[in-house]
Amino acid sequence: MTDNTINKAFEAECQAEIARQGDDQKLTGLARDFFNESARHKYSYHFSWMGRPIIQLPQDMMAMQEIIWQVKPDLVIECGIAHGGSIIYYASLLELQGHGEVLGIDLDIRPHNREAIESHPMSKRIKMIEGSSIDPAIAAQVRAAAEGKKVILVLDSNHTHDHVLEELRLYAPLVSVGSYCVVMDTVVEDMPADFFPDRPWGPGDNPKTAVWKYLEENKHFEIDQQMQNKLLLTVAPDGYLRRVR
């Protein structure tokens, strides 16, 4: 048996196990309960990457590593910078591959965060734009930066339905066929409404409802169900969108 045959058999076995765990209602229920209970303690806030808070689940960052290695993009665009951990993470993966850059967009890049990002060893692969991601002038800058490049898109800024839907309409067309648009925090739709008393989003008005609406309008993407079945714990159920045409 050749190495290639062994690898294919192992992959097929994994795919079958992933499908079974995705169909296991007890297991997926336990994962959902853990997510909701741990969110009360801000579980995802407690991790960092190369010294910067990343504010993401480790499972989703492992998924992003797999996607970046598979796609080998020229450009990763992320709407939403916060402390900069995720754009530094993507930049470090691109550094390992020896190719590509990250473009981060945020309405408010706070001075201490900007300073930390710009002084970081991975800053050589990072560019930032300050402004609203749905401002037509900002979108024009992003389109110019993405022209002719293989693109991965991550949406993680304002989580209201209208904002995310507009981001999808503006930026999803930049994603290359075979690549991904990843919409974070679609999990808001599945969480108790009392989790968001001081936010303009919640069940019925959030990234997942925006994804569903966008997929009604646009047939170029499909939900990577296998990815969320594999992760079980994810902030992006129905949010891993693969461009198929």
3-state secondary structure the chain: CCHHHHHHHHHHHHHHHHHHHHHCHHHHHHHHHHHHHHHCCCHHHHCEECCEECCCCHHHHHHHHHHHHHHCCCEEEEECCCCCHHHHHHHHHHHHHCCCEEEEEECCCCHHHHHHHHCCHHHHHEEEEECCCCCHHHHHHHHHHHCCCCEEEEECCCCCHHHHHHHHHHHHHHCCCCCEEEECCHHHHHCCHHHCCCCCCECCECHHHHHHHHHHHCCCEEECHHHHHHHCCCCCCCCEEEECC
**Which strands make up the sheet holding 151-155, listed edge to edge?**
126-130, 101-106, 75-79, 151-155, 180-183, 240-243, 221-223
Give the whole-angstrom CA distance, residue 127 versus residue 118.
9
Task: Read off the tokens for 53.
Answer: 């808070």
Percent of the chain with pLDDT over 90: 94
131 closest CA partner among 107, 110, 164, 166: 107
pLDDT over threshold 90, residue 198: no
pLDDT tens sequence across 61-119: 999 999 999 999 999 999 999 999 999 999 999 999 999 999 999 999 999 999 999 99
45-59 per-position pLDDT tens digit: 999 999 999 999 999
Name the band, by pLDDT with cuts 50, 70 and 90, for residue 6: confident
Q: Mean per-residue pLDDT for 14-29?
A: 96
Residue 1, pLDDT score? 63
Instruction: Give me the mean pLDDT over the 165-178 stretch.
Output: 98
